[in-house]
Structure 1
């Protein structure tokens, strides 16, 4: 087995590790292309600004990202940043302050950004839509399940039928800023047109990332129970991506045939995305892992320390979040993200 040469470490901020591309199966070559590259765009050594919710806006080239909640020093509110491309090829980070309590995952939605707000002890966890331009007006779309508060909404996904699917672990409560859970840890589906809210999947320790296959016949859910928000780590708990088939009965979707799609060999699989060929990408303990549609680990995009999430951009381009660093990844020009490919269906 031949591995491509690893690129040298690109910066000396927090975290240890190597940057580069590690081929595990030959199929990774088609994803990398002939000239894969990692470019460090922005680094902040004092605060993990690049943690979650990377949303690429194809109309402007802007990227919205969310920082990480810091403990045990008393914590600090989570920041939302707008990363703005400049004519000279550089990027500028602008910290914005929309009315979104403890934001986490997000996705493109109706020309703006749909956030999972984890909530606080005073404000419920909710789905909140934000305008993508200043003054960043917001609108709460959903803040309860039939009268009971969600625990700590984590990551959303949008189906072509207009429904919003999202995960609900307990990280907000575990980290001390959210209310005590009132529901099990579950995956939900919300239909904004009818107001219908349904629990779709349970028996998950900490449901986290969520993504559809290109044809929307499968939904992938990451379970990050191996690392709980209290700091409790246990390698015997799931660090697993589960796959479910989506079937329809009387016109309504149900999830069947739950199975293990993949288990992360380093850290936990946090945010998850798919490309238009059905490959599955997830941020893990040493960077971004890439699996084939059959669950075969093809290779890794190695980063110094944890990557919680990623966002596809223009064909052959990806943004990788690395806590204290934001990277731009150049892959084969044939690689395209499913979310952007489906964007017309979101409007």
Structure 2
């Protein structure tokens, strides 16, 4: 595969509703492949349109001193646009994650900043969801399940009612950066207004990415159980996107009717996102695999090295994290550009 080319593999005519009838435009925004080769573009991938900034967290970066635990860095990328709104240049700032928010993984735009998933470290009472406002320090939102430490909070989706849906796999313990699990690998919902924290799904091997459908009637969760932290694989285990219905009983939300929505074509589905038409996008080893809301595979945007996280921008922009590279797609106006969700 050409390392400088993103290509399209179509499986359904419906893929044209996303890409348009012809070619789409893409650009390599940033790369470390030619220099440090550090995997700085791994997760979070939260776009703040008001500030015209993109926030991305790295994969694990080893320390110069082998006796120190590895760290995760946060990139703040300001997009400089011309009068037409097109990105011309970027200003890139690398930040060390704050001490009170160790090992940030996924995240989402929230209020006037970013809501981060902190995986925590070997110390107790670390990890959870933290809100980091523009120019401020992280503020804890929820940091335990009634006094029991979360495992390694990984991904979060913010609903229109302000509730937070998040996954909690055991990645940190497997990487020896977190203590033994105190809880199963759950999916949670937290309401910051009422303080209601509940387990909404269990029985998953390694719940990873999470997304809400546009009408918020469906929650999608990826299970990456087929690949372990040491990169070993068991192809008989889940590499699956599950769908759940959001239902209310006695006025309270529950997840029901768990079902297989899709099985990844290549390796495991990591970050997951829904566009405004309800199509489901997943970062996989071959790039971005895209399914219709009915679970039909529409096509693949083949990205060199695969994709780990996805964020929608404005005017049909899609940002793709690919470990050592950060890409931006711009879909044709009138096609996928009108379908993108800016959440």
Is the shorter-chain TM-score for this pair beyond 0.5, marking a shared fold? yes
Structure 1: segments with no counterpart, 5+ residues: 1-5, 11-17, 341-347
Preserved contact between residue 98 and residue 138 of structure 1 (Cα < 8 Å): no
| Cα distance between partner residues in 1 of 2:227 and 2:61 | 16
CA 1:193–1:72: 2 relative to 1, 3 Å: same
Preserved contact between residue 266 and residue 286 of structure 2 (Cα < 8 Å): yes
Per-residue deviation, 1:337: 3.6
More moved, 289-298 vs 226-235: 226-235
| Cα distance between partner residues in 1 of 2:312 and 2:193 | 28
| Cα distance between partner residues in 2 of 1:85 and 1:19 | 21
Preserved contact between residue 97 and residue 104 of structure 2 (Cα < 8 Å): no
| Cα distance between partner residues in 1 of 2:25 and 2:315 | 14
CA RMSD, aligned part only? 1.8
Give deviations 1:97-120, integer Å, cap 9, x for gaps.
342200000001111100000000
Correspondence for 1:23: 10
Matched, 1:90 2:93: no
Correspondence for 1:64: 55
| Cα distance between partner residues in 2 of 1:336 and 1:61 | 20
**Structure 2 SS opposite 1:278:** coil
TM-score by length of 1: 0.90
Per-residue deviation, 1:259: 0.4
Per-residue deviation, 1:233: 1.1
Structure 2: segments with no counterpart, 5+ residues: 83-87
Pairs within 5 Å for 1:78-157: 78-87=72-81, 89-99=88-98, 100-122=101-123, 123-132=125-134, 134=135, 136-157=136-157
How many residues align? The count is 325
Correspondence for 1:48: 39
Give deviations 1:276-334, integer Å, cap 9, x for gaps.
11000010011111100011110111111121111000021100110000001111333
Pairs within 5 Å for 1:124-203: 124-132=126-134, 134=135, 136-203=136-203
More moved, 54-63 vs 95-104: 95-104
Per-residue deviation, 1:24: 1.3
Per-residue deviation, 1:196: 1.2
| Cα distance between partner residues in 1 of 2:63 and 2:48 | 34
Preserved contact between residue 312 and residue 336 of structure 1 (Cα < 8 Å): no
Match of 1:77 among 51, 71, 77: 71
Preserved contact between residue 313 and residue 342 of structure 2 (Cα < 8 Å): no
Give deviations 1:180-229, integer Å, cap 9, x for gaps.
11000010001111111100000000000000111111000000001121
Moved over 3 A (4+): 70-75, 334-339
| Cα distance between partner residues in 2 of 1:308 and 1:335 | 24
| Cα distance between partner residues in 2 of 1:66 and 1:270 | 14
| Cα distance between partner residues in 2 of 1:127 and 1:9 | 35
**Structure 2 SS opposite 1:233:** coil
